[in-house]
Structure 1
Amino acid sequence: SLSCQFSENWLGDILRKADALLFLFDLASDSLIEEMDDALKTLERFHIKQENDFVFTKKILWIGNKIDVPVSKDIKEIFMELYGEKIKDKFIEISIKEMTGIEELPERIFNLLDIIRVYTKIPGKPPDKENPYTLKSGSLVIDLAEIIHKDIAKNFKYARLWRSGDDKVAIAGRDYELKDGDIIEIHI
């Protein structure tokens, strides 16, 4: 558990540098509320949570484990009374033992990170679906060109674009906003 009393200073650096935080906690623990309070104090100590508020400087996914344990329902009810409104959109229930809810984790983490995957294509060849470029949501075609190589961005003329699930080709300029799953063929 994340403990304010026993956390080392280097932990704060790791937490601050992370793109997102995943908090896995035991829904069957009698001390869940105390553990959550301690974790929140630790986040305050490392300036990831504002004091006396539920505002964070990091994206957080709260993961409640052991939903398969009967007592977890009662503890979860108390937990949700205290924190439910504040974490409801960023909360997932799982059972590692029963492998329940775990299938949702990859998509929830991907959405939490607010990133997109974009695939590139060389003219006359199929797209490289094995090695996507990962960019922040809202990235433009020119951002992708810059990541590939600064000269490609400098000499950019246009890009051909295939949307995920669509066979139609569109022409995209440098300021076109990319979407997850786009296939891009850059022309210089």
Structure 2
Amino acid sequence: MLLMVDLGSDEGPEQAQEVIDHLQETKTRLARESYLDENDVGLSYTRTFSVPNKIDLPEAPDRLEILHEFFPWDFPEYVISATQQTGVTELKEAIFRALDVVRVYTKEPGQKKPDLDRPYTLRRGGTLLDVAELIHKDLAKNLKGAKVWGSHVHDGTMVKGDYVLHDKDIVEIHA
């Protein structure tokens, strides 16, 4: 979860705390990591990033200092300016790491270039068979293997369905 804090307003930190307080009335708690409470069925803790925004405004550094003084949340923090794009790249990278997924690109046999516009997204540890199933169940059923280009294999290495894919691998599936 991204807990956005408006540094453009004196009320920004209080408004963010109101969100936390409201969630305390439910079965959701904000935390550094996601997990279920073993002692309270239904209670879940959700990984949260604190995202103070509008750091480019003149009064924002003072408001950020107040935020830290009065609201010492224990969440990773990514201070950004959405309009200036300050800190946005770091936030995107943190979100991607937190999702624990890999992007896999496909290319058709005989084609020189893969489709880099639409990756398939899998949980880290996903296999070639998982990607084949995402594409089409019959492709997975008839899977013979695939050529893979990536950081963990020699380019064009033929692999079987149980091959664990890595982020940004390119696969040419053969059925």
Q: How many residues align?
A: 163
Residue 96 (1) aligns with residue 76 (2): no
Separation in 2, partners of 1:55, 1:98 = 29
Paired residue type of 2:64: K
- Segments of 5+ residues of structure 2 without an aligned counterpart are 35-44
Which of 133, 140, 143 is equivalent to 1:153? 140
- The question of whether the paired residues in 2 share the 8 Å contact of 1:49 and 1:55 is answered with no
Instruction: Say if 2:165 is the partner of 1:175.
Output: no
Which runs of at least 4 in structure 1 moved beyond 6 Å after TM superposition? Answer: none
Q: Which has the higher strand share?
A: 2
Report which stretch shifted further, 65-74 or 119-128. Answer: 65-74
In the alignment, the residues of structure 2 paired with residue 178 and residue 145 of structure 1 have an alpha-carbon distance, to the nearest angstrom, of: 12
**Aligned residue among 23, 28, 39 for 1:48:** 28
Higher helix share: 1
Give me the whole-angstrom Cα distance separating, in 2, the residues matched to 1:96 and 1:149.
Answer: 38
What residue number does 2:38 align with?
none
1:181, CA displacement in angstroms?
0.7
Q: Which TM-score applies when normalising by structure 1? A: 0.71
Identity of aligned residues (%): 39
**1:71 maps to which residue?**
59
1:110 to 2:99 alignment:
no
Question: What displacement does 1:54 show?
Answer: 6.6
8 Å Cα contact 2:5/2:13 also seen in 1: no
Residue 10 of structure 2 corresponds to residue 30 of structure 1:
yes
1:83 pairs with 2:72: yes
Report the RMSD for the aligned CA atoms in angstroms. 2.8
Q: Secondary structure at the match of 1:34?
A: helix
1:122 equivalent in alignment to 2:108: yes
TM-score, scaled to structure 2: 0.75
3-state SS of paired residue (2:118): coil
Instruction: Deviation per CA, 1:1-43: give whole Å up to 9, x if none.
Output: xxxxxxxxxxxxxxxxxxxx33321135333443232111222
